[in-house]
Amino acid sequence: MISENLIQDLNIELTEVKNKNDLMNVKSKFLGKKGPIVKLTSELKSLTIEEKKIRGTEINRIKSQIELLINKKLNEIENEEINKKLNSDRIDITLPGKASSFGSVHPLTQILDEIIDIFEGYGFQTVEGPEIETNFYNFEALNIPKDHPARDMQDTFYLEDDVLLRTHTSPMQIRIMENNQPPIKIISPGKVYRCDSDVTHTPMFHQVEGLLVDKDISFANLKSILNNFCHDFFQKDINIRFRPSYFPFTEPSAELDIEWENKNGEKKWMEVLGCGLVNPKVFDFVNYDAKNYSGFAFGMGIERLAMIKLGITDIRYFYQNDIKFLKQF
Ligand code: PHE
């Protein structure tokens, strides 16, 4: 019978099939428009009703058998593909792992943490404030009125008329005093901004502000705290000097220089902070009684201190994110 031959032929062809594409070709050869099943079906027309019944059932049987065989083959091919993929994707747990590289704490953060630790050891409390400031806190309340020449000391990034990126951490003196009564003993670390850029200046840098207000605070207290700080921070004998200076918000004012050695072994002085006794005019702005209270303030540049302690010659290294540089600390 034709049916037995068809199935035999199909089985032979299927043994040659290697992939889905081959299988599709075989399928369309047997079940397609020009295939034997369609042909047999079209021949039914010429038969009697009785013959049609028998022949029709026969054709349907062959057709389902062909479909069954083709689906079986399709399953085989798909299983094979999955197994292949599973084998090639298999994780070889005996291979050595990829070492992941660790980051490290940025040198400036390390130095900042050390400074905070030292001052907290002296009983100072750490507070942080906004980098976007108003004219009032950054200048006005610090006794730097509009058109005062001291504003030239700090080239300012303005965001709006009265809103700016703080040029120093000193506005935190005002923010703390206006909401708290003496005694005050705080430091305030953070970022500050000035239009300035060269080997020792970057448009953004870090300061730590210090403020102590109580009864009978004198310049001797300020000198003593800063002396102790230098000793604790550098952990070796280091020459420092106080140099008279001017800040509108302190009176008298000074700058602290630290002696360091440059690449050629020459001794140099580097200014690392400004300081002084709180100007009574500033106390007026926060309604403190200047007859009863006195205080000192200082603002230190973290980059400068880090450069001296770590022996770094160019401030810009801190911000280039060069792993080779950062890994040294
Ligand atoms: N704010 C000053 C500056 O940035 C430093 C300073 C702080 C001076 C506190 C005196 C008292 O230059």
Domain membership flag for residue 272: yes
Over the chain, what is the mean pLDDT?
A: 92
Half-sphere exposure of 21 (CA within 13 A, CB side): 0
Q: Based on the domain organization, do 143 and 217 belong to the same domain?
A: yes
| Residue in 323, 324, 319, 322 with CA at minimum distance from that of residue 109 | 319
Q: Based on the domain organization, do 77 and 169 belong to the same domain?
A: no
Question: Hey, whose CA ends up nearest to atom 12 of ligand 1?
Answer: 274
Structural domain containing residue 313: 107-326
Q: Based on the domain organization, do 202 and 289 belong to the same domain?
A: yes
Question: Hey, whose CA ends up nearest to atom 10 of ligand 1?
Answer: 275
- Per-residue pLDDT reduced to its tens digit, 57-95: 999 999 999 999 999 999 999 999 999 998 888 888 898
Domain membership flag for residue 102: no
Q: Based on the domain organization, do 179 and 66 belong to the same domain?
A: no
Domain membership flag for residue 167: yes
What is the count of structural domains for the chain? Answer: 2
Pocket test for ligand 1, best of 137, 144, 164, 168 (most atoms within 8 A of CB): 168
Q: Based on the domain organization, do 320 and 219 belong to the same domain?
A: yes
- pLDDT at residue 152, rounded to an integer: 67
- pLDDT at residue 62, rounded to an integer: 92
| Residue in 121, 115, 296, 123 with CA at minimum distance from that of residue 221 | 296
- pLDDT at residue 141, rounded to an integer: 97
Q: Based on the domain organization, do 82 and 123 belong to the same domain?
A: no
Domain membership flag for residue 311: yes
- Per-residue pLDDT reduced to its tens digit, 239-291: 999 999 999 999 999 999 999 988 888 999 999 999 999 999 999 999 999 99
- pLDDT at residue 2, rounded to an integer: 62
Which of 309-313's residues contact partners 24+ apart within 8 Å by CB, and which partners? 309/111, 309/233, 309/234, 310/107, 310/111, 312/107, 313/199, 313/262, 313/263
Domain boundary among 31, 58, 88: 88
Instruction: Give the sheet arrangement for strand 184-193, strand by strand.
Output: 125-126, 184-193, 204-214, 294-301, 267-278, 250-261, 240-247
Cα distance between residue 297 and residue 261, in whole Å: 28
Domain membership flag for residue 101: no
Domain membership flag for residue 79: yes
161 confidence band (pLDDT: 50, 70, 90): confident
